Amino acid sequence: MNATEVLRIVDSLHREKNIEKEIVFVAIESALVSAARKHFGEDADIEFIIERDSGQIAGRCGQEELDYEEVIGRIGAQTAKQVIIQKVREAERDAQIDEFNEIINDVVTGTVHRNEGRVTTVTLGSVEAILPRSEQIPGESHQPNERIRALVTEVKAQGSRVKVVLSRTRPVFVQRLFESEIPEIADGVITINAISREPGYRSKVAVSSIDSKVDCVGACVGVRGNRIKMVIDELAGERIDIVRFDEDPLQMIPNALQPAEVDEVILCQMMGRAIVLVREDQLSLAIGKRGQNVRLASKLCTWDIEIMTQGELEQQIDRAVQGFCKLQGVDEELANRLVGEGYLSYDDLSVIEPSDLMTMGNLTEEQVDAIVEQADVLAQEAEIREAEEKRARKTAAAIASAEAKQAEAEKQALAQAAAKAAEDEAADSTGSAGLPESTGDGAGVEPVTPSE
């Protein structure tokens, strides 16, 4: 391997494998050192240097100069070649790791190669990435040779190969799709301020505009919904709510709860809780199916949102004041102050900051500890009662269901018996039709006259 051949190998690997030339030079130098140590010993002070411009190789062992061709001749060209190949593969892997590290949290397009158990393998150029089932949108299935877009979430070395993990469930994936489909976002005119998501079901996206002439929500939806439709199609029909972002939680929370109409928002700063009052006819819409709407709104606004009607709030306040007054060391004034800060249950008191309670009630640390301890006990008792009531309701429902089934079965049995009786009566009537009426004394029977 002369100087010209070294430069040719370096240039070839640089172009074919996309490896930096310096990485290839270092790999060859390292390979020569590793190969030489097989002859001189692992502890030998060996160094090889390749001139980057000329390709000339100079080596030494301690103070003694080494002829690299002689070294390779001693240890065998095949061994040196194997070491060089290994080092180059490692360099190629490291180059790929660097390449994919630069695009973490970016969307890539690949081709589905195969499905193995709970993992889908996706080809990204010369690298095979994996899309775990946990990172796939629920209900989705991917077929071989299908084109797929996904987010790069993790890159790491796995032996001589690169392991790239993809995802289609992260909120960032939705953000990247918006950036690719909506030019105003890519240009920075519209900003995505927050995203909350339950993959495959629903996402909420809060947006704002730095240009008052640009309607941030309308621009994201597009003419007749053409822009948002592209994103929804990519997300397998997932519903997307686009809301206007506002730094004021009194404005942001109603926006996040759309399409429900909000009457009032009460912020409880110490608890990080927002009590949202709605009309009775808006209650189920604000909460959403299985609590999805309020859950996503809470994530979007970073507030613990509780939905209730005015009547429910008044009931909770009365119940909380009465309950807190039962605690030794809590008077009615302190109870009202606690409720005013959003503490509405014994569970809430169990997580209150002791310093806050000391300030609110002008209490000592010992008094606060005693109050919190009482609240813990009562909260556990309330939890036990609730569990027992839940079991009782479940048992009562099961009994009612069994009784209803039994009643239905009896009803069906009676109906079948009545139908059978009707059928028998009809059969008897049909069997006697057209026959002479019997009198019991031979009446109606014409006598037989003997033939003459």
Secondary structure of the chain in the HEC alphabet? CCHHHHHHHHHHHHHHHCCCHHHHHHHHHHHHHHHHHHHHCCCCCEEEEECCCCCCEEEEECCEEECHHHHHHHHCHHHHHHHHHHHHHHHHHHHHHHHHHCCCCCEEEEEEEEEECCEEEEEECCEEEEEEHHHCCCCCCCCCCCEEEEEEEEEEEECCEEEEEEECCCHHHHHHHHHHHCHHHHCCCEEEEEEEEECCCEEEEEEEECCCCCCHHHHHHCHHHHHHHHHHHHCCCCEEEEEECCCCHHHHHHHHCCCCCCCEEEEECCCCEEEEECCHHHHHHHHCHHHHHHHHHHHHHCCEEEEECHHHHHHHHHHHHHHHHCCCCCCHHHHHHHHHCCCCCHHHHHCCCHHHHHHHHCCCHHHHHHHHHHHHHHHHHHHHHHHHHHHHHHHHHHHHHHHHHHHHHHHHHHHHHHHHHHHHHHHHHHHHCCCCCCCCCCCCCCCCCCCC
Backbone angles phi, psi at 132, to 5 degrees: -65, 155
Integer Cα distance of 198 and 138 in angstroms = 10
The answer to whether the Cα torsion of 77, 80, 86, 90 is positive or negative is negative
Least confident of 162-176, 256-270, 342-356: 342-356
What is the pTM assigned to this prediction? 0.72
Mean pLDDT of 225-250: 94
Select the more confidently predicted residue: 196 or 75.
Answer: 196
Least confident of 153-162, 247-256, 295-304: 153-162
Answer whether 35's CB lies under 8 Å from 29's CB.
Answer: no
Q: Which residues make up the CATH 2.40.50.140 domain(s) of the chain?
A: 103-167
The pLDDT value recorded for residue 76 is: 57
The pLDDT value recorded for residue 238 is: 94
Specify the CATH number of the domain 103-167: 2.40.50.140
Answer whether 123's CB lies under 8 Å from 51's CB.
Answer: no
Q: Which residues make up the CATH 1.10.150 domain(s) of the chain?
A: 312-393
Burial of residue 35, with CB atoms counted within 10 A of its CB: 0-12 exposed, 13-18 middle, 19 or more buried: buried
pLDDT 10s digits, 41-67: 888 888 888 888 888 888 888 888 877
Q: Which residues make up the CATH 3.30.1480.10 domain(s) of the chain?
A: 3-95
Tell me the CATH class for 3-95: alpha beta
Task: Using the structure block, give the residue that is written with the tokens 């942001």.
Answer: 252
Q: Which CATH architecture has domain 170-245?
A: 2-Layer Sandwich (3.30)
Least confident of 3-17, 195-209, 321-335: 3-17
The pLDDT value recorded for residue 279 is: 94
Q: Which residues make up the CATH 3.30.300.20 domain(s) of the chain?
A: 170-245
The pLDDT value recorded for residue 447 is: 47
The pLDDT value recorded for residue 431 is: 59
Integer Cα distance of 374 and 372 in angstroms = 5
The percentage of the chain sitting over the pLDDT mark of 70, rounded to a whole number, equals: 91
In which order are the strands placed within the sheet that holds 304-308?
264-268, 273-277, 304-308
- Answer yes or no: is pLDDT of 280 > 90: yes
The pLDDT value recorded for residue 183 is: 93
- Answer yes or no: is pLDDT of 419 > 90: no
- Answer yes or no: is pLDDT of 437 > 70: no
Q: How many residues does the chain have?
A: 452
pLDDT 10s digits, 93-144: 888 888 899 999 999 999 999 988 889 999 998 888 999 999 999 988 889 9
The pLDDT value recorded for residue 73 is: 67
Integer Cα distance of 161 and 248 in angstroms = 49
The pLDDT value recorded for residue 94 is: 82
Our CA angle for 135, 139, 140, nearest 5°, is 65
The pLDDT value recorded for residue 78 is: 66
The pLDDT value recorded for residue 445 is: 45
Least confident of 80-89, 251-260, 412-421: 80-89
What b/e string do you get for 237-269 counting C-beta neighbours within 10 Å, with b at 16 or more?
Answer: ebebbbbbbbeebeebbbbbbbebebeebeebe
CATH of 312-393 given 3.40.50, 1.10.150, 1.20.120, 1.10.3470: 1.10.150
Mean pLDDT of 425-440: 59
Mean pLDDT, the chain, integer: 85
Nearest to 107 by CA among 36, 204, 46, 173: 173
> How do beta strands 190-198 and 202-209 pair?
antiparallel
Long-range interactions of 352-361: CB distance < 8 A, separation 24+: 352/270, 353/270, 356/270, 360/334, 361/329, 361/330, 361/334, 361/337
Select the more confidently predicted residue: 23 or 198.
Answer: 198
Task: Kindly indicate the confidence band of residue 426, based on its pLDDT and cuts at 50, 70 and 90.
Answer: confident
Mean pLDDT of 199-225: 93
